Amino acid sequence: MKPASLARLALGIALVAGLALAFANREQFSQEALQAWLTSAGWWAPVLFIAIYAAGTVLFLPGSVLTLTAGALFGILPGALYSLAGATLGAVLAFLVARHLAGEWVARKAGGHLKQLIEGVEAEGWRFVAFVRLVPLFPFNVVNYALGLTRIPLAAYALASAVCMLPGALAYAWLGHAGRAALAGDANAIRNGLLALAVAAALMFLPRLVRQFKAGLMITPEMLRALQAAGGIAVIDVREAKDFDGETGHVPGAINLPLGELRARIDELGSWRKDGIVLICRTQVRSGQAARLLAKHGFSGLRVVRGGILAWRELGYPTAGATTPATPIAENALGHHHA
């Protein structure tokens, strides 16, 4: 067996053993136990904490417990910085483990929807990393490994992760600090705790609020391909029927709903009111207008394809033409029906 293969085998065995050990001792992973370990470490406590955080990230241990502990023991700003250092180091380690353990295999075997998804992620680069760090809908530990399977540059991944994880680290460290102060009888602790919860809630819902105020998040054609691969979206082409089936064609599986008819037929999109609609036109003018109209009627999570069908065609992506029947809204073929 080649040395590289032996190294990957050893890494895989070590990772499985570490995961098994972490799972077997998960009940001992608590804020009280961490505080006891770190208090006894003296001056080495910050270094030990960063090492524990990094290892915990690789082994799928909950980072929120660690960040709360950091705020309680080290204070708000030091605790946030130590947590950020540990989380970033752990994210990089998990990224590298995935890249070197399975990256080559995925590159050889990836095809179909998986290939489209990876291409879309790589096209967005650091912007995709920033998105998944800011939006708390994606499991942090899982994302670290998943991104290691792409060809996103390590430096861009690490920098975007560190910058975009800082607000959350501050909020959780603040909450942990306030909790310890409350136990110590600080009269201002409850107020500080409520402020910390408000900051954490704001960070959690900020992306959705931004989408509501900015009708139509711009995405690239590559990202549309990735969304199609993941499924569960409706691609709405707002051009007239003659353009939809004209020389430029349309995105396969797209629904033709002309901008002039959109207001009268808006109820047909009711099941997609909260998320899942991607709007496209020849460029991006009419799709932007459609996004603003839908936003006024309570739709959220709207996406507009930057450059429209022209940008799609420039990348050589397939199109459907007049010979391909349009997909009815009620029988959308791009994924599961959005409840």
Taking only the tens place, the pLDDT of each residue in 118-150 is 665 666 678 778 877 876 556 788 888 888 888
* pLDDT value of residue 278: 93
The reported pTM is: 0.55
Which strands sit side by side in the sheet containing 234-237, from one edge to the other? 217-219, 303-305, 277-280, 234-237, 255-256
Q: Which two tokens stand for residue 312?
A: 């799609």
What is the Cα–Cα distance from 262 to 269, expressed in whole angstroms? 10
Q: How far apart are CA 50 and CA 33, in angstroms?
A: 16
Amino acid in position 86? G
The token pair that represents 336 in the structure block:
């599961």
pLDDT band (50, 70, 90) for residue 199: low
User: Which residues, including other chains, have CB under 8 Å from residue 263's CB and lie 6 or more apart?
Assistant: 293
Q: Is 282's pLDDT higher than 80?
A: yes
Going by the DSSP 8-state scheme, the letter that residue 197 receives in this structure is H
Quote the mean pLDDT of the chain.
Answer: 76
Classify residue 206 by its DSSP letter: H
236 vs 304: CA distance, rounded Å: 10
Q: What are the angstrom distances between the C-alpha of 334 and each of 73, 255, 282?
A: 50, 10, 20
- Which stretch of DSSP H or E encloses residue 240? none
Contact assessment for residue 227 and residue 131, using Cβ atoms and an 8 Å cutoff: no
d(CA 143, CA 292) in angstroms, rounded, equals: 32
215 vs 236: CA distance, rounded Å: 15
**pLDDT value, residue 326:** 45
Confidence of residue 152 (pLDDT cuts 50, 70, 90): confident
Strand partners, 272: none
Distances from the Cα of 70 to the Cαs of 18, 40, 43, 67, in angstroms?
Answer: 23, 15, 14, 5
The answer to whether residue 284 scores a pLDDT higher than 70 is yes
Q: What is the pLDDT of residue 268?
A: 87
**Rounded average pLDDT over 9-35:** 64
Q: pLDDT digits over 220-269, tens only? A: 898 898 888 877 789 999 999 999 999 899 999 999 999 999 999 998 88
